[in-house]
Amino acid sequence: MVRRRTPAVDRSPYLNHRSDAETLLAPDGSTVRELLHPARHAIERMSVAEAEVAPGERTRLHRHPVTEEVYHVLDGAGVLQLGNQRIAVVPGDIIRIAPNEPHRIEARSETPLRFLCICQPAYRDEDTEFLDSDTANEPGTQT
């Protein structure tokens, strides 16, 4: 169990800590911690989330008509489908995903694939269009 230090002063609305972020199941199938989002934090035009995909799983194929995204891979390894390309991703990789670009990511390591997802404008479910069925993570589903 990770212990968090107690701040010496009141927390600023401009500061958040990973341990304070609620873990959610995202519509694309990943597990997400919203680290910074205008609905809850002192940020206006963008959002930052930590996403995780379990080993052997993948997110649903989707696109965001308005939002530009940046993925920064932290842990694990996988394959990102970006339009018609398939790109191997490892920790340290930073990938730009243009608005309207179909994409999904698959964890191909024995550990979860964990990455930061930075969105501008801030992420909204309404800006996500799914391009596949909702069976992306069912056993036997092919990439």
Cis amide linkage into residue 121, ω under 30° from 0: yes
pLDDT for res 139 = 37
Grouping H, G, I as helix, E, B as strand and the rest as coil, residue 126 is: helix
Quote the pTM value.
0.82
pLDDT for res 2 = 53
pLDDT for res 135 = 53
Closest-CA residue to 113 (of 80, 81, 86, 138): 80
**pLDDT tens, per residue, the chain with 143 residues:** 555 555 545 556 667 788 888 888 999 999 999 998 888 888 889 999 999 999 999 999 999 999 999 999 999 999 999 999 999 999 999 999 999 999 999 999 999 999 999 999 999 999 999 998 765 444 333 33
Grouping H, G, I as helix, E, B as strand and the rest as coil, residue 18 is: helix
The CATH architecture annotation of domain 36-130 reads Sandwich (2.60)
